[in-house]
Structure 1
């Protein structure tokens, strides 16, 4: 069996197997990704980050304005559009291995929803996730631990999310996310599902504060979801109305992340900031 190099990394407990494939020689099957991510028989992770030069990709995926492309796959092997925690870990890997710099100019990384720009922040790295859409239509969400179905807010930040507001920390803690929540209507591509509880008071020193848990499609419950954190802040900001702040602090089981909404020439962008950690490196036989 061939042997590949890997590095394990995480962003607020959302963990990934990083596989360097600079020139695009690897073709990982869904089953191979699932084995690598298996926490008992593999390395263990919520997903795979394949590090590949954009020029090594088929023309339809290549991002000419970014040298490096983040090929993100969920733990079940399915491809995903974007990963907010993963892209910070990806940037950390590029910088630490000398593949790219970030101090003299922003780092541009290609994804399946276009090129994203990262800079350093006090917390680690900040990524501009770009424009977003808060859909006026509601989705009904059923989850084990909730007494009745709840309305969910659809938010798209490059990948799809449904955000559900809960009444208390006890209700949030009482959710059983070992069972996948059900959505009606069911989005064609599925969705990550976030459950949030606003702090009391919601706004503290000009910053909105919420707590969140998440069920990620293709993975299950994770300790954190970066794009889910951004979607949750955007949903609560939408619910709060015109006086809502543009800066948010989101607490997840794996730590704390920051969200900013900023005006740009092409409309409002949402930015996500937080830590990125590389844990260990090694080699593994590829089944």
Structure 2
């Protein structure tokens, strides 16, 4: 039996998503159906899927509903697997809510439910800013092997609601020479897997009180993407950790899809950047 599904395509600095509206939680998309929608040759093409659903209509949204978050971001990776959160995705999600007149945004922002709790999103000079909440620098290094690296490099484990391993590289040419069509190999492998970021700090690292770095990312369940919001936050946190006590609390991170901002405030990390809706249509799934 076929399913005809209205959708919208959106992106945040090139990290792109299929958006489907399901306010009452009537859709039950399988992993194969999500993967088909996100397939870049046979589907719409995207790094993931955002299902727009009310918190009260989804099992994972009970706490969000109780805390006052009307909407829940049901995020799925491109392979159909369930993910905790997406920093670029939540900005695109909010932009879709506003453009569809499903929500309003005042100076206090709006709470959106995720599998990493309810997160507040406000407007910013770069577009929207999301408070990703508390973060953790995890103990113990992970050795990372990637195609294009001559030797394994140590990575710092950073948790910003989903797991990341950040690797520092010494030069731009080494960053550019990475072949991220192959999955990086982690040793030891984190229990839930991890997104892997490779970064090169700018020289000078800090200008006018703002740190600058460049980054590429391999997202678990997706592959290399043009941007990863939580990965940008994790990268800024890792470089700040390596730089020591004098490092700034404001960062600009360049990714292949653009530039994102990161702030650290009272033990929380905040991510800011643009959100764009590209086109809408309908697709029929088997």
TM normalised by structure 2 equals 0.97
Write the mapping of 1:84-99 to structure 2, written as runs, cut at 5 A.
84-99=87-102
Shift in Å, 1:286:
2.1
Tell me how far 1:41 sits from its aligned partner. 0.6
> What is the 5 A alignment of 1:10-159?
10-58=11-59, 62-64=63-65, 65=67, 66-159=69-162
> SS of 2:170's equivalent?
coil
Structure-2 separation of matches of 1:117 and 1:217:
25
Corresponding pairs, count: 283
Out of 219, 234, 240, which is 1:231 matched to? 234
Aligned position for 1:272:
271
Change (3 A) 1:6 1:247: same
CA distance in 2, matches of 1:166, 1:273: 24
Shift of 1:59: 6.0
User: d(CA) in 2 for partners of 1:107 and 1:195?
Assistant: 32
1:211 matched residue in structure 2: 214
CA distance in 2, matches of 1:164, 1:40: 31
Question: Helix, strand or coil for the counterpart of 2:64?
Answer: coil
Equivalent-residue separation in structure 2 for 1:269 and 1:4 (angstroms): 38
Q: How far is the alpha carbon of 1:188 from its aligned partner?
A: 1.1
Unaligned ranges ≥5, structure 1: none
**2:25 aligned counterpart, secondary structure:** coil
Distance 1:279 1:59, change over 3 A: closer
Aligned equivalent of 1:247: 250
Unaligned runs of 5+ in 2: none
Output the CA distance in 2 between the equivalents of 1:104 and 1:260. 18
Question: Could you tell me which residue of structure 2 aligns to residue 283 of structure 1?
Answer: 282
Contact 1:61 1:112 in 2 (8 A): no
Closer/same/farther in 2, CA of residues 110 and 59 from structure 1, 3 Å limit: closer
Moved beyond 6 Å, runs of 4+: none
